A and B are shown apart, each in its own frame.
Chain A
Amino acid sequence: MKTLEIKNLHARVEEKSILNGVNLSVQKGEVHAIMGPNGSGKSTLANVLAGRDSYEVTDGEVLYEGKNLLEMETEDRAREGLFMAFQYPVEIPGVNNSYFLKAALNAVRKHRGLPDLDAIEFMQHVKQKAKILSVDPTLLSRSVNEGFSGGEKKRNEIFQMAVLEPRLCIMDETDSGLDIDALKIVASGVNTLRSPERTIVVITHYQRLLNYIVPDFVHVLSGGRIIRSGGKELALELEEKGYGSIEAHSEPQPAPTA
Chain B
Amino acid sequence: MKVAEAEDVRFGRFEEFAAARAKVEPSWLRDRRRAAILRFRQLGLPTTREEEWRFTPVRSIATTEFEPATARSIPVTRAAVEPFAFAGLDGPELVFVNGRFAPDISRPSSLPAGVRVTSLSEILTSDGALVDDNLGRYVKFEQHGFTALNTAWMIDAAVVLIPKNLVVEAPIHLLYLSDAERPAAAHPRTLVLVGEGSAARMIESYAGPAGQVYLTNALTEIVVGANAQLDHYKVQRESTSAYHVSSTHLTLDRSAVFTTHSITLGGHLVRNDINALLGAEGTSCTLNGLYLAGGDRLVDNHTAIDHAKPHSESHELYKGVLNDRAHGVFNGKIYVRPDAQKTDAKQTNQVLLLSKDATINTKPQLEIFADDVKCTHGATVGQINDEALFYLRARGIGRDEARQLLIHAFAEDIIERIHIAPVRKALEQALLKELPLKD
Interface residues on B, range: 20 to 34
Task: Decide: B405 and A74 in contact? CB cutoff 8 A.
Answer: no
- Chain A residues with CB under 8 Å of B396's CB are 75, 78-79, 104-105, 107-108, 111, 164
A50 touches B (CB below 8 Å): yes
Q: Which residues of A contact B397 (CB under 8 A)?
A: 75, 100, 103-104, 107
Q: Is the CB of B413 within 8 A of A78?
A: no
Contacts of A51 in B (CB 8 A): 390, 393-394
Tell whether, in the assembled complex, residue B412 and residue A78 are in contact, meaning their CB atoms are under 8 Å apart: no
Cα A17 to Cα B349 in complex, Å, equals 39
Residues from chain B with Cβ under 8 Å of A164 in the complex:
395-396
The answer to whether A90 touches B393, judged by C-beta atoms less than 8 angstroms apart, is no
A160 at the interface (CB under 8 A from B): yes
B398 touches A90 (CB 8 A): no
Bound form: Cα–Cα A103–B409 in Å: 15
Q: How many A-B residue pairs have CB under 8 A?
A: 78
Report which residue of B386, B395, B399 has the largest number of chain A beta carbons within 10 angstroms of its beta carbon: B395
Chain B binding surface SS class: helix
**Most chain B C-beta atoms within 10 Å of own C-beta, residue among A84, A104, A160:** A104
Whether the Cβ atoms of B393 and A92 lie closer than 8 Å is no
Shortest Cβ distance from A80 into B: residue: B396
Per the CB 8 Å criterion, the residue count for chain A at the interface is 30
A233 within 8 Å of B (CB atoms): no
Among B386, B392, B398, B399, the residue within 8 A (CB) of A92 is B392
Given A75-B399, A108-B396, A111-B396, also A54-B391 (CB < 8 A): no
Q: Shortest CB–CB separation between residue A55 and chain B, in angstroms? A: 11
Chain B residues, Cβ within 8 Å of A89:
391
Q: A107 and B406: CB pair below 8 A? A: no
Contact between A92 and B390 (Cβ–Cβ < 8 Å)? no
Which A residues are CB-close (under 8 A) to B410? 94
Assess whether B50 is interfacial by the CB under 8 Å rule: no
A90-B387, A94-B412, A94-B413 are contacts. A74–B406 as well, Cβ < 8 Å? Answer: no
Known: A92-B388, A107-B398. A73 touches B393 (CB 8 A): yes
Contact of B406 among A79, A86, A95, A103 (CB under 8 A): A95
A50-B394, A92-B391, A95-B405 provided; 19 other pairs, C-beta below 8 A? A52-B390, A52-B394, A74-B393, A75-B397, A78-B393, A78-B394, A78-B395, A90-B391, A92-B409, A93-B409, A94-B409, A100-B397, A103-B397, A103-B401, A104-B396, A105-B396, A107-B395, A143-B409, A164-B396
Which positions in B face A, CB cutoff 8 Å? 385-388, 390-399, 401-402, 405-406, 408-410, 412-413
A-B contacts, 26 listed (Cβ < 8 Å): A52-B394, A53-B390, A73-B393, A73-B399, A74-B390, A75-B398, A75-B399, A78-B395, A78-B396, A84-B394, A90-B388, A92-B385, A92-B391, A92-B392, A92-B406, A92-B409, A93-B413, A95-B405, A100-B392, A103-B401, A104-B396, A104-B397, A107-B395, A107-B397, A108-B396, A160-B395
